[in-house]
């Protein structure tokens, strides 16, 4: 992150932008979006729990600027999250809880709106969006015996093997950051810190994630 901030500051102070006119109004843009996810702990129904140890991802974005301040677009992103899980015995199961781990694959598709506070080349911005997020946990360990077990994300599942299906849920996101337009038609760079909320049918009711992004884009 320090390298990315340094790159942005160099861009701010080394460009020759004197006398150049600039406007985002009516412009289209495409961006590549490397992502980092923060750590988070969740407690699910019947004592099942999970600890996200962070993860990485990559996204693609498209946006249309209505004027120098307001833009609407769509983002698609994929990533992986390392996690540790606690699985507890379910109905009729006299076994003991056990721990496991895995790597969760995730994908999200989201419509968003972004408001730039200034019309110039360098501006803070606020963004928010809604869409859907697909989660596919890949639990490494089978339960110690057949029966019903309470898993994080899946809930109660009976059998000698852990569940393998994924799930898709409604999600929302919001964030803030700093954007800088490169000179001429070379594009832009953008740093963003934000949060994601995934609607969940049971405890914890909402899955919250922290996200950091460095976007590199071209405008037309």
How far is C-alpha 75 from the geometric centre of its chain's CA atoms? 10
Residue entry with tokens 């200034």: 118
Return d(Cα 90, Cα 146) in angstroms, integer.
Answer: 11
For residue 97, what pLDDT is reported? 95
For residue 20, what pLDDT is reported? 53
Whether the predicted pLDDT of 15 surpasses 80? no
> At 10, phi and psi to the nearest 5?
-60, -40
- CB 195 within 8 Å of CB 41: no
| pLDDT band at residue 185 using 50, 70 and 90 as cut-offs | confident
Domains of the chain, residue spans: 2-8+27-219
When the candidates are 1.10.275.10, 2.30.29.30, 2.40.160.20, 2.40.50.140, the CATH number that belongs to 2-8+27-219 is 2.40.160.20
| Cβ neighbours around 25 below 10 Å, total | 12
Averaged confidence pLDDT in the chain: 90
- CB 129 within 8 Å of CB 172: yes
Return d(Cα 81, Cα 40) in angstroms, integer.
Answer: 11
């Amino acid at each position: 992150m320090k390298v990315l901030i340094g790159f942005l500051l160099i861009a701010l102070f080394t460009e020759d932008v004197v006398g150049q006119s600039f406007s985002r109004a009516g412009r289209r843009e495409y961006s590549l979006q490397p992502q980092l996810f923060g750590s988070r702990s969740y407690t699910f129904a019947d004592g099942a729990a999970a600890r996200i140890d962070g993860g990485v991802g990559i996204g693609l974005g498209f946006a249309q600027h209505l004027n120098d301040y307001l833009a609407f677009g769509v983002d698609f992103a994929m990533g992986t999250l390392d996690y540790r899980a606690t699985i507890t015995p379910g109905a009729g199961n006299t076994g003991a809880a056990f721990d496991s781990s895995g790597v969760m694959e995730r994908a999200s598709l989201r419509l968003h709106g972004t408001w730039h506070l200034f019309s110039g080349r360098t501006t803070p911005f606020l963004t928010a969006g809604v869409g859907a997020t697909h989660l596919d946990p890949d639990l490494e360990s089978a339960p110690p015996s057949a029966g019903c077990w309470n898993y994080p994300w899946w809930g109660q599942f009976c059998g000698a093997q852990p569940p393998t299906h994924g799930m898709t849920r409604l999600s929302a996101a919001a964030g803030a950051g700093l954007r800088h337009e490169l000179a001429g038609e070379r594009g832009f760079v953008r740093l963003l810190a934000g949060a994601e909320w995934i609607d969940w049918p049971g405890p914890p009711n909402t899955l919250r994630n922290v996200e950091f992004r460095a976007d590199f884009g071209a405008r037309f």
